[in-house]
Structure 1
Amino acid sequence: MTFLRFAVRRLVEMAVTLLGASFVVFGAMYLAPGSPASFLLSGRSASPAALQAINEQYHLDDPFLVRYLRWLGQVLQGDFGRSLTYRTDVSGLLADRLPATLLLVAMALLVVVVIGLVLGWIGAVRGGATDSAILVTTTLAVGTPSFVAAVLLQGLFAVKLGWFPTSGAGEGLLDMAWHLTLPAIALALYLIGMLARVTRSAMLDALEG
């Protein structure tokens, strides 16, 4: 239950973070120099009537908060808008990348469960220096941001040792899994440390009882 509460809390924190990040990014786009209409025209000249038509079509004259809430409401309904760069729906772009994303999440969860449980069990059963080493390792795992872990893992295992590819998502299930191994480990490190600690505490309580 402790780990479940922790996972729920992390999901809530993630949702709040995403909401705050979306507001900041949307605000930065709103405050950026130039106008969205000029970007849509790609530098081409247009009459005032054409500019007004673009502003009306995309609601560019609406207040910032109204535009943000409209965009947020559309996102919650599954409408992510249209990419101005790729000239296609954002939903389609996300769908193309969904298989790799789901595989990455599945691999990260598998790594968390297997390694977290094993480390927690070993630390509780063996004790002594082994337990101390696991505590130090899990503390480092919890305290290392995912992006820092990703850089370190890629630098060592992909660039220096050449064991893993440095970029791309691969083709086919096995090749995709091979490409996503390092990102999955980097993504899982924090939860590995937390699950190992929770497992260790539960095992110690069971052994002492």
Structure 2
Amino acid sequence: MTATRLAERLAQLLPVLLGVSLIVFLMITLTPGDPVEIMLADQRATAEQAEALRRDLGLDRPLVERFLVFLGNALRGDFGISFFHRRPVWDVIAERLPATIELTLVALIVAILVAIPLGVIAAVKRDSWIDRALSAASLFGVSLPGFWFGILLILLFAVEFRLLPVGGRIGFAFEVPRATGFLLIDTLLARDLSAFGNAVAHLVLPAITLGLPTAALLARVVRSAMAEVLASDYVLFAEAKGLSRRRVLLRHALKNALIPAVTVTAIETGSLLGGNMIVETVFGWPGLGRLVVESIFARNYPLVQAAVLLYAVTYVLLNFIADLLYTALNPKVRL
């Protein structure tokens, strides 16, 4: 990728973020419901107190002025104070973000470890009963609703067999010093293997709930790309030269078949980060997705706006990284 192309892709970030900022601001602002009334629901506040709180939050200003103030602050990295936490928005997000990233990465690892072998096997055994069975299983996996699948796993492995915990990140009996915010890392830094095992046990069900539907989609992509590559001339030529089937598959075919899979993986990673709200709610996972759901119901405008912008930046950067990976997998992409 040339420097000019790199600059063009980075420049595309600005209009995307501006459009997302406007859409999110209008959607959350025009949604019925008054955050002041929600905040004062349990208090016997007078009309004067409610109006003072509205002025303090800046909700008495015109819509255009509020958006311009929000945009100016966002350019400086300042998203204001969370209405309900009464703390800077980024501080609240920073507390929850490691939990979401940790769950996303583990779910992504599960998806890749399942999808690539199954996709390659289905392509090699094309049109066989193995291929048809794997295709049916992947179609079923793509169709699984996250909330239903999560509840089913809880009922089966947590309630019925009592093998895994129902929800949360770690048991109440464990106290782990917060160093990075990532429990798997923090427990290892504390040299507490019991806490590490407990944290892993809490990760299993939500990671499978997120990872298997992603694996189903990714496996279909790998299978389709791999089947196309196996029928290409250069693969047939490599086999005619006497190269082993394993070397042809791993070194020649799989490397090129992964190019479309990289795109899907980048998009799905963004979806796992931004779309795991339901799974986090089902499993009581204290991540950013669950925080956003709570903030939407509470009309916590600054936090929702900052979180959605974070999701948008994540999508753009992941697609940019996918472009860079293309050049590593296939140098012809540089042209």
Question: Which sections of structure 2, spanning at least 5 residues, go unmatched?
Answer: 1-16, 175-182, 185-195, 233-335
Q: CA deviation at 1:116?
A: 0.8
CA distance in 1, matches of 2:165, 2:39: 40
Q: 1:182 aligns with which of 205, 222, 228?
A: 205
State the SS of the aligned residue for 1:169: coil
**TM-score (ref. length: structure 1):** 0.72
Question: Which aligned pairs between 1:18-97 and structure 2 lie closer than 5 A?
Answer: 23-28=26-31, 31-32=32-33, 35-36=36-37, 39=40, 42-45=43-46, 48=48, 53-64=52-63, 66-67=65-66, 70-71=69-70, 74=73, 78-97=77-96
Q: Residue in 2 aligned with 1:205?
A: 228
Q: Residue in 2 aligned with 1:192?
A: 215
Contact 1:111 1:185 in 2 (8 A): yes
State the SS of the aligned residue for 1:190: helix
State the SS of the aligned residue for 1:168: coil
Q: CA deviation at 1:169?
A: 0.8
Question: Which aligned pairs between 1:161-176 and structure 2 lie closer than 5 A?
Answer: 161-170=161-170, 172-173=183-184, 174=196, 175-176=198-199
Give the number of aligned pairs: 192
CA distance in 1, matches of 2:35, 2:225: 58
Compared CA separation, residues 194 and 24, structure 1 to 2 (3 A): same
AA matched with 1:97: R
Percent of aligned pairs sharing the same letter = 34
CA distance in 2, matches of 1:97, 1:34: 22
Please tell me the root mean square deviation across aligned C-alpha atoms, in Å.
Answer: 3.5
Question: Which sections of structure 1, spanning at least 5 residues, go unmatched?
Answer: 1-14
Compared CA separation, residues 114 and 204, structure 1 to 2 (3 A): same
AA matched with 1:82: I
**TM-score (ref. length: structure 2):** 0.48
CA distance in 2, matches of 1:207, 1:37: 60
CA distance in 2, matches of 1:125, 1:68: 55
Q: Which moves more between the two structures, 71-80 or 174-183?
A: 71-80
Q: CA deviation at 1:105?
A: 1.2
CA distance in 1, matches of 2:69, 2:93: 20
Contact 1:103 1:177 in 2 (8 A): no
State the SS of the aligned residue for 2:40: helix
Q: Which moves more between the two structures, 135-144 or 183-192?
A: 183-192
Q: CA deviation at 1:43?
A: 2.4
Q: Residue in 1 aligned with 2:191?
A: none
AA matched with 1:160: E
Compared CA separation, residues 98 and 163, structure 1 to 2 (3 A): same
